[in-house]
A and B are shown apart, each in its own frame.
Chain A
Amino acid sequence: MSQNQEIPENILCTKTHEYVIVEGNTATIGITQYAAEQLGEIVYVELSDIDTKIPKGDSFGTVESVKAASEVYMPISGKIIEVNERLTSEPELINEDSYNLGWLIKVEGEFPPEALEEMMSMDDYLAFIED
């Protein structure tokens, strides 16, 4: 169902299958290709509003497949500065290109190395889902 997508550099993944790409004070957050495959065809996405501050570990939205709804959790604390509006009409972008066109939100915050410590590199993540 999913193609081989381009995987951005500096991507970090969580055990709950979110990813984060940090660039200075902003970070792009989405769900991993594996998560999208497990959910199946995504048909609806509901995301928190712009300007909401959400602490690490809290839910920032819901990704729904035909069969079920799954919450998505903040891998880091931050304030939402952008949500991916294209997903309203094209939620399937998450299945097709989760790391690029299928991103969910962009947040602003302080992301010192300690905040990213628990996250895995893509190689470690791929090994983690193999287990």
Chain B
Amino acid sequence: METENCKKTALYEKHLKRKAKMVCFAGWNMPLQYDKITTEHITVREKAGIFDVSHMGEFTIKGKSALDFLQKLVPQDISKMKEGKAVYTQLCNPSGGIIDDLIIYRLQDENNTYNFLLIVNAANTAKDFDWIIANQDDTRNATVNDVTDKYSLIALQGPEAATILNSAGIEFGNHPKKFYLIETTLRDFKCIIARTGYTGEDGFEILIKNQYAPQIWDLLTEKGEPCGLTPIGLAARDTLRLEAALPLHGNDIDEDTTPIEAGLEWSVKLDKPHYIGKEVLQKQINEGTDKIFIGFKMLTPNIPRKGCELFQEGRIIGNTTSGSIAPYLNCSIGMGYIDKSASIKPGDRIEVLIRNKKYPAEIVKRPFYKSEKR
């Protein structure tokens, strides 16, 4: 339900015009769905979808010490990033727990010095900002700003996304590569186009000042229509990310789970100076963790949800953190944590407790779905 106390994005009127079902999410009035969730989901897998994700938080960190500051905040090695690069990482607490996960973008230097953009989860924006500020030692040589309310973020995702961006005026040759960005113009409006997303498809995320967002939304919608592009709501965004086995903060990862436990070890670097949480993460990499993140596929049509207990040979071994039908795969899937003593090879059987009954499931490799085009 739409509520009065929720903020409106610059694209709010566009959603009402398309008769979206609106919800208040993380303090923002957001489109939950415009059409059937499964239809929207399949449109993104087969054609393309456009998403208003302006609720996401955006911070800039600029200045001479911005690099050292970020190096201290996240387990990724930011020193390896050139201008125009993006990386997925986390903000960890001293126990290695994930305060939030985010993407850091290195923009073109400004005044001969570092210029970073951070895109964080909407529900965590205020908490993240406080954490970053609280951990800043050198306030003279790095400036942190929350620019969430000034910018809109439009995601264009799906196999046709690149073609649509091309017809909107960005030539293929100028497209950023996966996990890179370009600073360019669309219809003469300055914008940042990054080849990132949260759907498991090829696609782009476009950051643009609020006042230009409605025109860019219209431009992309118009250019995308011949390819079958439609607007997509938050509900399908969630099923898309789950099929792609991308973790959702607050469900699959939180302050009590580390990136190592969550299977995100690839994004944790030890060969860099000290950072918050490093000792714990180093120990877990060397010695292993007590719980292991897994994906499973139901062997019956029952739908697992967050918080279902998982069993193996009658013994409780863990809990689900996400679960849903997988509209593109035509089955039910889930992710969760299980004890290291359990047998978790792909193909191993587990049971999922759903409303007091156990149903069979099979451990499968993540992601559940992988785009051929990526």
Name A52-103 residues within 8 Å CB distance of B: 62, 64, 66-69
Tell me, rounded to whole Å, the shortest Cβ–Cβ distance linking A112 to chain B.
Answer: 32
Tell me, rounded to whole Å, the shortest Cβ–Cβ distance linking B305 to chain A.
Answer: 7
By beta carbon, the residue of chain B nearest A62 is: B355
A40 touches B325 (CB 8 A): no
B302 touches A43 (CB 8 A): no
A66 touches B301 (CB 8 A): no
Given contacts A66-B239, A66-B324, contact A44 B301 (CB under 8 A): yes
Q: Interface-forming stretch among B33-41, B141-149, B167-175? A: B33-41
In which size bucket is the chain B interface? 10 to 19
Given contacts A40-B37, A46-B302, contact A66 B355 (CB under 8 A): no
B342 CB-CB contact with A under 8 Å? no
By beta carbon, the residue of chain A nearest B35 is: A1
Provide the residues of chain A in CB contact with B301, threshold 8 Å. Answer: 44
B37 touches A66 (CB 8 A): yes
By beta carbon, the residue of chain A nearest B37 is: A66
By beta carbon, the residue of chain A nearest B301 is: A44
Tell me, rounded to whole Å, the shortest Cβ–Cβ distance linking B236 to chain A.
Answer: 8
Q: How far is the CA of A44 from the CA of B327 in the complex (A)?
A: 12
By beta carbon, the residue of chain A nearest B239 is: A66
A43 touches B325 (CB 8 A): yes
Provide the residues of chain B in CB contact with A68, threshold 8 Å. Answer: 305
A43 touches B33 (CB 8 A): no
B235 CB-CB contact with A under 8 Å? yes
Neighbour of A41 across the interface among B36, B303, B305, CB < 8 A: B36
Neighbour of B38 across the interface among A1, A46, A64, A66, CB < 8 A: A66
**Interface 1/0s, chain B 16-50, versus A by CB < 8 A?**
00000100000000000100111000000000000
- Chain B residues within 8 Å of A, Cβ to Cβ: 21, 33, 36-38, 235, 239, 301-303, 305, 324-325, 327, 355
